[in-house]
Structure 1
Amino acid sequence: MRESGGRGQGPGRGAGGAGSQGGPGAARRTPGGPGRTTRQSGGSGRGGPSGEGRPPSQEPPRRRRDPDDPLDLPFGPEAFGPAGDARGRSRGDDRPAGRRRPRDDDDAGPRRAPRDDERPRGRAAQGRDDDGRPRGRAPRDEADRLRGRVQGRDDDRGRTARPGGAGRPGPAGRTGSAAGSKAAGQPGGKARRPGDEEPRGRGQDGPLRRTPSGAPRGAAGAPPGGPRGAAGARQDAARDRDGAAARRTPHSGSRGASRGGDVPPPRGPRRPPPRPPLVLRLGNPRRRINIGLIGMTFVLSIFAGRLIQMQGLDAKVYEAAAAEQRVQTVAIPAKRGSITDVKGHYLAVTREARDLSIDPTKVPSGKRAEVASVLAQQLGKSEQEIAAKLARTDTRYQLLARGVDPFVATRLLQAKIPSLAAKKTYRRDYPAGDLAGSLIGFVGDDGTGLGGIEREKNELLAGRDGKMRVETGRDGQQIPMTSSEQTPPVDGRDVRLTIDRDIQWAAQKSIADQVKKSGADSGTVIVMDVQTAQIIAMANAPELDLNNWRKAPESSFVNKAASVVFEPGSTNKVITAAAALEAKVVTPDTVYRVPDRIKCADQVLRDAHSHKTEPMTFRQAMAQSSNVATVMAARKVGSERLHAMLKAFGFGSRPGGGVPGAEAGLLPDYKKWSGSQNCTVAYGQGVSVTALQMASVYQTIANGGVKIEPQIVAGTTDEHGRFVPAPPGKQTRVVSETTAKEITTMLESAVGEEGTGQLAAIDGYRVAGKTGTANRYDAELGRYDGYTASFAGFAPADKPRLVVLSVLQNPKNGHFGGQLAAPVFKDVMTFAIKSKKIPPTGSAVSPVRVGAGQ
């Protein structure tokens, strides 16, 4: 293996190791000597007495370099010298051996690298060797190899040297460094040849200086080759070691050797350097300022980013959100249309009003009792109710009253009650109170019709609300001078009914009195115009008070005249008579031998009163309301034709004309009739109708057999307020005019002296009508219980103008229709004739055959 020192290799080096090429540890070529000087131990030329060299037997053979070979680089053993010096001699070392440039930092401790302006000029000063290559640089492979050796030397530096100064074998396979022993004057150092100059390097204490006599001296002024004591050698070695450690550069591969400083001999395990004393360091203000600036920059960048997001990216979103909070849409209620009678009298009207509300949290607790007393007195409410609302401090809104009169609201606002607010609105008034209450219906708090005409014509009456977009503040008040968008409301249209207020009042009073007198559950009266089928009056008892509908029972919300279904009884016999006459199976003068009872299937049917079997004309049977004679005529007609006639008169179908709550009744298919039902249907048991349907039957007979759909609405107003009459009802011929006249004569006989409806007769007027008494089916009990008493007729009989129907449900004081319902008919018809100014015809009743023997 090669023993050249290389570039500062580890402890395996021989002569203390040299630094990098051209560095402080490189040996320099003397002007006259052919050989190369080796570094002395300690790097200061203070080795043995005469700088003893290596014995000749230990000097390796030297190879001559081929100058013609470009790859023959001076990195072999001959390039480093026999002592393993780093790079051989430098061109700048041809000055005398005893002379070198004095340095100011010889005794100043660690040296610094000379600046460019301080370095000597020439090839030696520029750091180039004899071959022209830069000193201190080696090929990449050689540099890696030398760096590994230096690292190995560093690793082995702490090991104990063998006696005699020989170290353990290093990475290069050489013996340990003998520099330390040479520095102490021990044999083993390489002898200096005559003519060789003293080695120079940065690893020494300093550049060699010449004495006044011209001999080179060390840094301390001693002759280079003079003997020195062991203590001096140790001091020099320690100084060289410190200087080499201080002069390390990033290019050096090891501690001291790369800079040319000699490594002292190993002295066993290295002791850790003493810890520096703890020094209390004050904070660096610049560092604090920098940290603060960084923090402020970070925070401000967050604010700036958020600002960009809000003002730039999401500007439209926040603008819309702000507008949504600030801009409010306020509904402008439309004025609801009025409901009037046929003469224009108001039955339901809309007036301006106020809704009063209060914020209970703004009312002082000490004044709540006083405020409650004032509000209760003005609003017509109980003081306890108002006090309970004022005590609700968990909410900021309490509605005190709706539809308050504007004068009352103004008076309360002037009383300066805390946080009292009034909102403009409309209220529905019913000037007539309970007049036609269930027919007209009522309006809820939200302005929607909940019953009667109010619900049936709600869309027409309600109109269309407007809206206004305004900007409001936190307190809900409109911000002045701000833009607003307004859509004007469209007021509702007026509805004119066919009801005559006066006749309605008379009918309602008469049936209410009779219900009270007879102890009936309820009663109904309908007055209808014969020629137009317009309903002049539709009264119910008990009737709904529209101004206090919240306190009324739900049963009074129903318009019983059009919705309550019942079995008509004998009033239905006119349909059987019409079917028999139309089928020509009988004539008014057809005589029957009529017993007081008849068997039908498994049932025995009886007349209303007992009598012996007697001959009876069909007209007489109708006048006396004989069930047996009617069954006998119905058997000739047949169930199918009877069913068809019932259907033609409107049974089993809902009446048209817009009457609210109208029901269809019940008409079973004739194929499903039971054995007894084939007989009972003839006199009005086993089918169900409403009062409106039965009144329509008599209107058809009185109108010459032409049925007209009942009408309740006379007309409406258009958008300009002009009245537009409703179209007439649909007309349908049910029976011939001859049949209608024959039935009229039969009905006129029923009101005569031999008839059951004598109490319905009106002085001066010819009246045609029919009583009805039927078993009442109670749906709650699921069986028949009580009776239904009714009377239907028209006047004048020879020229009919009005039809009146009266019905009492479940009367307790009597149950016959001629006894209870006929008087109601008479009272209402008499008033209606006078109100309509219908004069008597003046014609006398035509003589007809009533009895079989006449």
Structure 2
Amino acid sequence: MVSLGLTLVMLAFVVRLFQVQAVDADAYAAKAEKNRYSSHKLAAERGAITDRGGVELATSVDAYDITADPTLFTPKETKIGDAPEQAAGLLAPILGEDADKLAQKLRTPKTRFTLLARRETPQVWKQIKDLRATLAEKASADPKAVNVLAGVLAVPTSKRVYPNDGLAAGILGWVNADGKGGGGVEQQLNKELAGKQGEIRYAQSGGRQVPTAGRSEKPAVPGSDVELTIDRDIQWAAQDAITEQVRKSNADRGYVIVQDTRTGEVLAMANAPGFDPNDLSQAQSTSLGNAALQDAFEPGSTAKVMSMAAVLEENAATPGTRVTVPNRLHRGDRLFQDDIDHPTWYLTLNGVLAKSSNIGTILATGELGKTQKQANKVLHSYLRKFGLGKETGLGFPGETSGILAPPEKWSTSQQFTIPFGQGVSINAMQAASVYSTIANGGVRVEPTLVRGTKGPDGRFTPAPAPKKTRVVSTKTARTLAQMLESVVDDEEGTGTKARIPGYRVAGKTGTANRVDPKTGRYRGYTSSFAGFAPADKPRVTVYCAIQNATKGSYFGGQICGPIYKKVMQFALKTLQAPPTGKAPARLPVTFDPGRPETPGRPPNGR
């Protein structure tokens, strides 16, 4: 009997072993598949972007990618036929997604991973977890109940947020759905900001991690923080001022740039209209990007300062050189005029700049060579040295170099319009850099937007020092600064609205015919003002431009002069730059044709 019993027991084991290895092998393999190891990428925390004082302009917060294992929603696994639809119905209102699309994802065949929603808040994931736990309790108490959310999981990640909403959005850019920089500094320095992904591998059963089954993890390496040269408060003042004036003028857009004249650091770069990188769905496509760097436009009279720089540096004239300015001037195939009809003006070279005379500028730059061809070549060389026709050095995504044709390709009209800023195109940063060069004693310092980066180890790495280039002599730069003061300080100047009580201000107005980017034809105006202060000890450059003002005045001195004043006052106060207290030179603007010219004209003057 004992041997018979043992025989029966052994027979039972053999039968069961045969059943496991042969008859039900597929079923058990399928169950083992449910308990296999799973691996997921671990997102690296993206570095923050701060202003020069450490104020966060872009940062990352905890978030979760909501995922699912479609194999846990099949009829075979859930014992019901509509588990995906039931789960989608519960998740749709929480995730703000379409239920049909969610159900379709949950029915994805031959995969154990599908992404339901990206970068949801911890509160959203908690709501899903609580609901899943409730369904699990019901399923535990009632064998007929099904936890249709058992296969819903979450992968920790982060979400990019911009605490100041649209402030400096054109500089910052945004992060796209894939977690990569989609514009601005976010794109330019994506590699430094992004860090390196990690990976985790663990055993799971029924959609849940098995804590006792062992796991391996390669930690993610956080990205570096980026410190900008921007001052948040000055950026706010610039953005507020340009936004308000663009609205008042019913203009297409406008920009303001504030630059430290000594270091080249950009303290503010504001665009209007702008956008909120927290919600790109509400942004207009024309407002995305950084128009201050990406728009190319003809600068108009603010470019005359480069023509005057060439004239002075080449010793072709002095500020007191007499220039008789007729009401009309025939050159090439055109008859040129100033912005207003006038009798013959008797201006000094300084007066030509103060009253912004196109005719006077043509006459002055004609002295740069024995022939017009030679004069064109000389002027072109100075425009290039001031930075026209090439990128500023910022390396910003989408930045335009502007348009500056070689002198041999200047048309008959261009050789006379380029001296007063028409027939050549620049961006706003290039325009600001010209004035910073003069303010810095004739040395151009490449503008910078990034001060440095701070790695995960806390070490700060300064950005490379900007390139410096001598453009004009210190003497020429100082003379130009005095001439620019006449634009603002003299009653005959065009920039009187830019005056700042207690400070000496150097500046220049501009009102240029504008090329409509849609039609390629001239329509409307580019209104601008550029300058620096204090004029005799420069600290800050401010440049403002407004495109196509259609309400009220369109003259640069009238609508950009006040913006310059408002932003400059704020910047000087923020930087604690005091007035020098010195009296301006007050160079003469006009001359009496009845009186003989004072000796002292340059030896090679013509």
TM range (shorter): 0.7 to 0.9
In the alignment, is the contact (CA less than 8 A) between 1:659 and 1:711 conserved in 2?
Answer: no
Instruction: Kindly indicate whether residue 154 of structure 2 is the aligned counterpart of residue 414 of structure 1.
Output: no
Specify which of 156, 163, 177 is matched with residue 431 of structure 1: 163
Superposed, 1:31-110 pairs within 5 Å as none
Look up the equivalent residue of 1:850 and give its one-letter code. Answer: V
Matched, 1:724 2:461: yes
From 337, 343, 358, the equivalent of 2:47 is 337
Cα distance in 1 between the residues matched to 2:194 and 2:543:
33
Instruction: Report the Cα offset of residue 749 of structure 1.
Output: 0.5
Cα gap change, 1:641/1:367 in structure 2, threshold over 3 Å: closer, same or farther?
Answer: closer
- 1:450 aligns with 182
Counterparts in 2 of 1:484 and 1:371: CA distance versus 1, 3 Å: closer
CA positional deviation for 1:423: 2.3
Residue by residue, what CA displacement relative to the aligned partner does 1:770-813 show, whole Å, maximum 9, x if unpaired? 00111111232121111100100011111110000001111112
**Superposed counterparts of 1:581-730, under 5 Å:** 581-637=312-368, 638-730=375-467
Higher strand share: 2
Residue 494 of structure 2 is matched in structure 1 by 756
Cα offset, 1:365, TM superposition: 7.0
Tell me: CA distance 1:487–1:645, structure 2 relative to 1, closer, same or farther (3 Å): same
State the distance in 2 between where 1:354 and 1:630 align: 63
Aligned to 1:526: 257
2:171 maps to 1:459: no
In 2: Cα distance, 1:393 partner to 1:705 partner: 63
Q: How does 1:389-408 map to 2 (within 5 A)?
A: 389=101, 392=104, 395=107, 399=115, 401-408=117-124
1:402-442, Cα deviation, whole Å (9 max, x unpaired): 32221342133213364143321111111111011121011
Residue 394 to residue 400, structure 1, CA distance change in 2 (3 Å)? closer
Q: 1:846 is matched with which residue? A: 585
Does residue 823 in structure 1 map to residue 534 in structure 2?
no
- The structure with higher relative contact order (CA 8 Å, sep 6+) is 2
The secondary structure found in structure 1 opposite 2:54 is: coil
Corresponding letter in the other structure for 1:763: P
Distance 2:447 2:168 in 1: 17
Matches within 5 A, 1:190-589: 326-357=36-67, 376=93, 381=96, 385-389=97-101, 392=104, 395=107, 399=115, 401-416=117-132, 418-419=148-149, 420-473=152-205, 475-589=206-320
Shift of 1:398: 6.9
Please name the residue that 1:89 is paired with.
Answer: none
Q: Distance in 1 between matches of 2:360 and 2:526?
A: 22
Mapped partners of 1:521, 1:783: distance in 2: 16
RMSD: 2.8
Q: How much has 1:366 moved relative to structure 2?
A: 11
Which of 363-372 and 720-729 deviates more?
Answer: 363-372
Match of 2:138 in 1: none
> Which of 495, 511, 529 is 1:773 aligned to?
511
* Secondary structure at the counterpart of residue 806 of structure 1: strand
Once residues 562 and 712 of structure 1 are traced to their aligned partners in structure 2, the CA distance between those partners, rounded to angstroms, is 12
Inter-partner Cα distance in structure 2 for 1:697 and 1:476: 63
Q: Provide structure 1 residue ranges, at least 5 long, that are not aligned to the other structure.
A: 1-302, 308-318
Amino acid in the other structure paired with 1:344: G
Shift, 1:364, TM fit: 9.4
Q: How many Å separate the matches in 1 of 2:116 and 2:198?
A: 25
Deviation readout 1:102-160 (Å, 9 max, x if unpaired): xxxxxxxxxxxxxxxxxxxxxxxxxxxxxxxxxxxxxxxxxxxxxxxxxxxxxxxxxxx
Question: What displacement does 1:372 show?
Answer: 5.2
1:400: Cα distance to partner?
Answer: 5.0
Closer, same or farther in 2 for the Cα pair 1:506/1:353, shift >3 Å?
same
Contact 1:369 1:387 in 2 (8 A): no
Question: What is residue 785 of structure 1 aligned with on the other side?
Answer: 523
Contact 2:49 2:58 in 1 (8 A): yes
Closer/same/farther in 2, CA of residues 649 and 390 from structure 1, 3 Å limit: closer
How far the C-alpha of 1:325 sits from its partner, in A, is 10
Q: Distance in 2 between matches of 1:692 and 1:852?
A: 36
C-alpha distance in 2 between matches for 1:620 and 1:596: 15
TM-score, L = length of structure 1: 0.59
Contact 2:350 2:587 in 1 (8 A): no
User: Residues 775 and 784 of structure 1 are in contact (CA less than 8 Å); yes or no, is this contact kept in structure 2?
Assistant: yes
- The one-letter code of the counterpart of 1:487 is K
> Which amino acid is 1:446 matched to?
D
Aligned partners of 1:652, 1:712: CA distance in 2, in Å?
A: 20
Amino acid at match of 1:710: P
- Could you tell me which of 547, 554, 571 is aligned with 1:809? 547
Q: CA deviation at 1:556?
A: 1.9
> Bigger shift: 572-581 or 410-419?
410-419
1:338, 1:349 within 8 Å by CA — same for their partners in 2? yes
Aligned equivalents of 1:422 and 1:329: distance in 2? 13
- For residues 387 and 733 of structure 1, do their structure 2 counterparts lie closer, same or farther at Cα, with a shift above 3 Å needed? same
C-alpha distance in 2 between matches for 1:566 and 1:630? 20
Matched-pair identity in %? 45
2:477 alignment partner AA: A
Task: Look up the equivalent residue of 1:682 and give its one-letter code.
Answer: P
> Contact 1:389/1:398 (CA < 8 Å) preserved in 2?
no
Compare 408-417 and 644-653 and name the one that shifted more: 408-417
- Residues of 1 paired with 2:123 and 2:216: CA distance? 30
**Cα separation, 1, equivalents of 2:124 and 2:481:** 59
Name which one, 1 or 2, has greater alpha-carbon Rg.
Answer: 1
Q: Scaled by the length of structure 2, what TM-score is found?
A: 0.82
Cα distance in structure 2, aligned partners of 1:323 and 1:400: 23
Q: Offset at 1:472?
A: 4.0
Structure with the bigger percentage of helix = 2
Contact 2:298 2:426 in 1 (8 A): yes
Q: Which moved more, 1:652-661 or 1:389-398?
A: 389-398
Partners of 1:458 and 1:736 in 2: CA distance: 40
- The answer on whether the counterparts of 1:658 and 1:713 sit within 8 Å (CA) in structure 2 is no
Report the Cα offset of residue 750 of structure 1: 0.3
Distance 2:514 2:105 in 1: 56
Amino acid of the residue matched to residue 734 of structure 1? V
Question: Residues 324 and 797 (structure 1 numbering): CA distance in 2 closer, same or farther, change over 3 Å?
Answer: farther
Partner of 1:835: 574
Letter in 2 for 1:486: E
- Partner amino acid, structure 1, of 2:183: G
Higher mean displacement: 393-402 or 743-752: 393-402
Deviation at 1:523, TM superposition (A): 0.5
The structure-2 alpha-carbon separation of the partners of 1:531 and 1:612, relative to structure 1 and needing over 3 Å to count, comes to: same
- Contact between 2:487 and 2:493, CA under 8 Å: does it hold in 1? yes
- Checking the alignment, whether the CA contact within 8 Å between 1:507 and 1:828 is kept in structure 2 is yes
Structure 2 unaligned spans of 5+: 1-17, 23-28, 136-147, 369-374, 596-606
Q: Structure 1 counterpart of 2:378, which letter?
A: R
Please state how far the C-alpha of 1:821 moved relative to its aligned partner: 1.2
User: What letter corresponds to residue 662 of structure 1 in structure 2?
Assistant: E
Q: What is the number of equivalent residue pairs in this alignment?
A: 532
C-alpha deviation, 1:333, in angstroms: 1.1
